[in-house]
Amino acid sequence: MLRDAKQVKVGLRTKLIGLLSAVLVLLSAVFLLFTYDDQSRRAETDLLEKSRVLVTEMDAMWDFISLNQNVINYTADGEYDCKGLHCAIAGKSVAALFSEKSDYSIRFTNLNPRNIYNTPDAYEAAAIESFLADGGTDEAWGYETEDGQPVFRYVRAMDVSDNCIECHGTPAGEIDATGYPKEGWSTGDVAGAVSVVVPANATLEAMRDAIVGNMVFFLAVVAAMALIIYVVISRLITEPLTELQSSFSRVAGAAAPADSGADGEGEGRPAAALQGLPVRGTLAAADRGVLYSSREIDGLIEQYHSMARRLEELYGSLESQVAERTEQLSRANAELERQRRRVEEINEQLSRDNQYKSDFLAIVSHELRTPLTSILAFADLLAQSIDPADRQAARQLEEIDKNGAILLEMVDNVLECARIQAGSETLNLELIDLNDVVGMVDSATAPVAAKKGVAFETRVDYDVPLIMGDWEKMRRVLANLTSNAVKFTDAGGRVSVRVRRGRMPDGGPEAATMAAGTGPGGPAVVVEVADTGIGIPPEAQRLIFERFRQENMSTVRRYGGSGLGLSLVKDLVAMMGGTVSVESEPGAGSVFTVAIPVDEEDIHD
């Protein structure tokens, strides 16, 4: 109630006035900017065209004098007689006369003038230097202030023509016919510039008057449109809505006694009170006239009539509907509670079944390992006692030893997976040399690879340090990866192992970051096992690290295996806080990469 009391409600008319005012201000600002930009460009274009016309006329006069030098300086007998009336004198004189008889100022200038009065000012010097620096630019203009009044400055470059060479050409320093040393110019060089100063006060005042006139006219039009829109919307929307609100208030007042009556006096009054209300007041379209009647408002009023009629029905059936919905909700809650208890029972059963499975695997694996070890031991003793010449017996014992070793490795994998899943496996940290780990794996795998006709090579980079880790788990990881690589590589292929320094890959598991105390990009020891075997299809690469999963059944029949090796690799690497990934293409081999994070302070070179 306190929040409702403090809340300020703004009427639709006020909002409409505010919206129209904001739109008017925005449109005025946009139009002002547009008008100012347009008038500024018009004023500048007008002054620029005037300046260009003046400069063009001065150029024409200059060219006329230059072209008629022979007529001026030679007598009728053909003898040279310099009259001193050359193009520079004529141009300067005409410019002076023009400047005296108008508000405009025009003159010729260059950076090294023969006459001190032709020395350029700062604006002219900057323009001439830009002409010299950029051969494609031959004019410059802009606004400046002189004696407190705005002026328009225009400067155009003057190029050396063939007629200028006689007095200004080569050799530089030679005295020309006018008594000045030659500048050494060539045809096409920038000789100087024509500078025009045009008073801009009248033009700018005309621009400002045009802007003010346009703005006054625009504001008048926009204000008139805003007034018309406001009046029309008020008559079409706000006034009908106000009348509709009054009718709603009467409906609420008529329905109120039904809730406050005593001894049954209020029963039946809402329906009676509502009857006749929809047609009261000025809600009917005929009352508002055809001009201000609209389809949308009339439709809203008709909906109000329909709502008023439905209120009587709703008052009678509301209580029964609430009771029915309450009963349905109670039944739904009871069903949800029963399903929740059932889910809990299923979860408990699954947990027990999973524990039974893990215990069964651990017990069976442990019990299988003892007789397998005895079989392998007796096979070794038997191999020592048979005649070396008996090749058949030797092959049979070799098969017993090979398959027994494979079976023992599978049992060890199952036992290790069971311990990891049961949470009983722990890390035995010690200072390890990865050269020793790779060497032991090499001595066990190289003979198997050689017998199969697969080239097997290992490499440990010289900068791989001694690290703190679990020696046996690193060996099992590397042994499983190399065993798989040799198994799935046909004769003539190659398997290589490389250990190097590296960095943890981006997007690694959060467990790796927590265990190593370093995030993606941190220091790591990287083990890469590459082969040229059958490869793995992209759709199967995300499945090979799951327990008891291989690429397909044809792979199982051809190469054997239980599908636990890579799952065990993943679990052991995760225990050490690392990541394992694979890159492979069918028929092109595979590369398995294991990254084990290390702290810089734990690295022992």
Q: pLDDT-derived band of residue 518, with 50, 70 and 90 as boundaries?
A: very low
Would you give the DSSP letter of residue 175?
B
557 pLDDT exceeds 80?
no
pLDDT of residue 255: 53
pLDDT of residue 2: 46
> What's the whole-number mean pLDDT along residues 473-487?
89
pLDDT of residue 263: 46
Return the higher-pLDDT residue of 212 and 94: 212
- Domain for residue 574, yes or no? yes
Residue 189 domain boundaries: 46-200
The residue type at 2: L
Return the higher-pLDDT residue of 560 and 418: 418
- Domain for residue 228, yes or no? no
Q: Distance between terminal CA atoms of the chain?
A: 74
- Domain for residue 177, yes or no? yes
Return the higher-pLDDT residue of 562 and 17: 17
Same domain for 437 and 342: no
Q: pLDDT-derived band of residue 424, with 50, 70 and 90 as boundaries?
A: low
Choosing from 401, 425, 449, the residue where a domain stops is: 425
Give the count of alpha carbons within 13 A of 145, CB side only. Answer: 3
CATH number at residue 90: 3.30.450
143 pLDDT exceeds 70?
yes
Same domain for 579 and 436: yes
pLDDT of residue 161: 78
Same domain for 272 and 182: no
pLDDT of residue 333: 92
Same domain for 155 and 50: yes
Give the phi and the psi of residue 541 in degrees, each rounded to 5: -65, -30
Same domain for 440 and 389: no
Residue 297 burial (C-beta neighbours within 10 Å; 0-12, 13-18, 19+): buried
pLDDT of residue 260: 45
Return the higher-pLDDT residue of 378 and 59: 59
DSSP letter string, 149-170? EEEEEEEEEEE--GGGHHHH-S
Same domain for 378 and 475: no
Return the higher-pLDDT residue of 66 and 587: 587
Q: Which segment, 93-97, 142-146, 157-161, 389-393, is predicted with the most confidence on average?
A: 142-146
Return the higher-pLDDT residue of 518 and 192: 192
Same domain for 562 and 445: yes
Percent of the chain with pLDDT over 90: 8
459 pLDDT exceeds 90?
yes
DSSP letter string, 512-558? HHHHHT--TT-EEEEEEEEE-SS---GGGTTTTTSTT--S-HHHHHH
CA gap 165, 182 in Å, rounded: 9
pLDDT of residue 169: 73
pLDDT of residue 498: 94
**116-130 residue pLDDT tens:** 777 888 888 888 888
Average pLDDT, the chain: 76
54 pLDDT exceeds 70?
yes
Give the residue ranges of DSSP H helices in 187-294: 201-233, 239-255, 257-260, 269-274, 285-288
Same domain for 363 and 290: yes
- Domain for residue 130, yes or no? yes
> What's the whole-number mean pLDDT along residues 446-474?
89
The residue type at 280: R
pLDDT of residue 595: 93
**338-358 residue pLDDT tens:** 998 889 889 888 877 766 666
- Domain for residue 95, yes or no? yes
- Domain for residue 330, yes or no? yes
Q: pLDDT-derived band of residue 208, with 50, 70 and 90 as boundaries?
A: confident
Same domain for 501 and 461: yes
Identify the residue whose tokens are 């010729």. 108
pLDDT of residue 211: 87
- Number of domain units in the chain: 3
> What's the whole-number mean pLDDT along residues 188-204?
83
Q: What tokens does 454 get? A: 């697969």
pLDDT of residue 454: 92
> What's the whole-number mean pLDDT along residues 12-18?
73
Closest CA to 104 of 196, 24, 227, 41: 196
Q: pTM score, two decimals?
A: 0.39
Lowest mean per-residue pLDDT among 33-37, 183-187, 467-471, 478-482 = 183-187
Choosing from 374, 392, 425, the residue where a domain stops is: 425
Percent of the chain with pLDDT over 70: 72
> What's the whole-number mean pLDDT along residues 426-436?
86
pLDDT of residue 259: 46
Give the count of alpha carbons within 13 A of 260, CB side only. Answer: 5
Same domain for 454 and 593: yes
Q: What angle do CA 179, 180, 182 make, to 5 degrees?
A: 130
CATH number at residue 499: 3.30.565.10
pLDDT of residue 264: 45
- Domain for residue 38, yes or no? no
Same domain for 321 and 388: yes
> What's the whole-number mean pLDDT along residues 275-290?
49
Same domain for 88 and 74: yes
The residues near 375 (Cβ < 8 Å, ≥ 6 apart) are 400, 404
Choosing from 425, 441, 463, the residue where a domain stops is: 425
pLDDT of residue 21: 80
- Domain for residue 237, yes or no? no
Q: What tokens does 575 get? A: 């225990």
* Side-by-side strand order, sheet with 494-503: 455-460, 494-503, 523-531, 589-597, 579-585
Q: pLDDT-derived band of residue 575, with 50, 70 and 90 as boundaries?
A: confident
**305-343 residue pLDDT tens:** 777 777 767 766 776 778 888 888 999 999 999 998 889
Return the higher-pLDDT residue of 415 and 454: 454
